[in-house]
Amino acid sequence: MGQLTRLHADNLHFPPADNALEDPPGLLAVGGDLRPERLLAAYRQGIFPWFDDSSPILWWSPDPRMVLKPADVHCSRSLGKLIRRGLYRVTMDSAFDQVIQQCAAHRDGQPGTWITEDMQQAYIKLYHLGYAHSVEVWQEQTLVGGLYGISLGRMFFGESMFSRQPNTSKLAFVALCRQLQQWSFTLIDCQLPTDHLASLGAAPMSRQRFLALLAENRVEDNQYKHWQFDDNCLVA
């Protein structure tokens, strides 16, 4: 049945991820804070924060989990044509603050954002510590798409993406996948299912299987640095 746990500010301990509630699906804990140590402890255990300004900090571990192996990313014919046209420049870790601000910006059909100001500042701290990373898509000097997430071992935990021009978030995601494949990353955690992610090749995985892969990933070294693309990561 699951059990909701209230976290204490002076204790970084999380309950097992499979203790999450069935209703609402995946809700595991409430409270705590967003300090880097707690966030990293959460990701290492298959848990992530998701809430808005009207609620306390909520921690989730859904079942199933939306994931993607970097080699399985789907690049549509139209996206391949866009890559070959060379209209956009793609970078890594060159504008993390701007990317997270754009991801947090109001979108049509959404009353607010779960990427609160406190959340933005927490992930900016993780960026400066070398754990959070961004991908940027530029049209000349204008940021028109991107994404950000957390890297631990050989797994990348995606958080959010945005587009200001058609398909620019997909362009960022495909570029990330091709780079992570070159770096021998095993999995990208996409958290929750969306049609957008499914169109890129993401698929559901049971929480049990995801946690098993996460446990194996803990022995992998972390890449504590700001990232740059290798050559040819965007060859269509």
- 97-146 pLDDT, tens digit per residue, is 999 999 998 665 554 567 999 999 999 999 999 999 999 999 999 999 99
Distance CA 130, CA 149 (A): 11
- The predicted pLDDT at position 96 comes to 98
Q: What is the pLDDT of residues 54-98, one digit of tens each?
A: 899 999 999 999 999 999 999 888 888 888 888 899 999 999 999
- The predicted pLDDT at position 236 comes to 47
Does 66-217 match 5-62 at the fold level? no
Distance CA 102, CA 94 (A): 14
Segments making up each domain of the chain, as ranges: 5-62, 66-217
Q: What is the pLDDT of residues 150-207, one digit of tens each?
A: 999 999 999 999 999 999 999 999 999 999 999 999 999 999 988 888 999 999 999 9
Kindly give the interhelix angle for 96-104 and 117-128, rounded to the nearest 10 degrees.
Answer: 160
CATH code of the domain occupying 5-62? 3.30.70.3550
- The predicted pLDDT at position 107 comes to 60
Architecture of domain 66-217: 3-Layer(aba) Sandwich (3.40)
> Do 12 and 205 meet the contact criterion of CB atoms below 8 Å apart?
no
- The predicted pLDDT at position 44 comes to 95
Distance CA 200, CA 102 (A): 21
Distance CA 192, CA 25 (A): 11
- The predicted pLDDT at position 78 comes to 86
Q: CB-based burial of residue 120 (10 Å sphere; 0-12 exposed, 13-18 middle, 19+ buried)?
A: middle
Percentage of the chain beyond pLDDT 70 is: 92
> Do 191 and 48 meet the contact criterion of CB atoms below 8 Å apart?
yes
Enter the tokens of residue 215: 């446990």
- The predicted pLDDT at position 221 comes to 67
Kindly give the interhelix angle for 77-85 and 168-182, rounded to the nearest 10 degrees.
Answer: 90
Q: What is the pLDDT of residues 26-45, one digit of tens each?
A: 999 999 999 999 999 999 99
User: Please, which residues bridge with residue 135 across strands?
Assistant: 92, 147
| 233 pLDDT tier (thresholds 50, 70, 90) | low
Distance CA 107, CA 196 (A): 15
The three-state secondary structure class of 60 is strand
- The predicted pLDDT at position 232 comes to 66
- The predicted pLDDT at position 84 comes to 86
> Do 204 and 66 meet the contact criterion of CB atoms below 8 Å apart?
yes
**Locate tokens 């958080």: which residue?**
159
> Do 77 and 85 meet the contact criterion of CB atoms below 8 Å apart?
no
* pLDDT for 1 beyond 70: no
Average the pLDDT over 211-230 and give the result: 84
Distance CA 132, CA 228 (A): 13
**Locate tokens 């991820």: which residue?**
17
**Of the candidates 67, 65, 47, 72, which has an alpha carbon nearest to the alpha carbon of residue 57?**
47
- The predicted pLDDT at position 38 comes to 97
Enter the tokens of residue 192: 């929750």
| 13 pLDDT tier (thresholds 50, 70, 90) | very high
The three-state secondary structure class of 181 is helix
- The predicted pLDDT at position 223 comes to 65
